[in-house]
Amino acid sequence: MDDCVFCDIVRGEVPCRLVLETDLAICFVSTDDQVDYHLLVVPKRHAVNILDCDAASLRAVADLTQRVARHLVADCGFDGVDLLNTSFEGDQSVFHFHVHMLARSHGDGLDTWPRLPGRAISLDESWRRVKMK
């Protein structure tokens, strides 16, 4: 895809700090400087978001994410990871599906859960609307 920095990284046209790569996905250190130990896991095949990501690429991202998360805990001394993703058009900054991984340690002071406004409808109404038949 033209004008996609993640596609440029996958093609080797833009350098990255590679953590691990498979046939279908790649994990690298984010250049965003908001937090230490911020990694991105990206499918090699371009997909704007999870809605148009093919099943094999989605599985590859999940598998690579888990593999790197296990490495962060077992080999790097972290206590766990937070996974974040934005696929809503208004919030997405790079329109190539990706998962953010934040390596976490107890007491690191990170608050990665957004402040949300609270329910506007009942729990049962929410459930009725989203359950699959």
Calculated CA dihedral for residues 37, 43, 46, 48, nearest 10 degrees: -60
Q: How far apart are the first and last CA of the chain?
A: 36
Q: Which residues are catalytic?
A: 98
Q: With beta carbons less than 8 A apart as the criterion, state whether 76 and 124 touch.
A: no
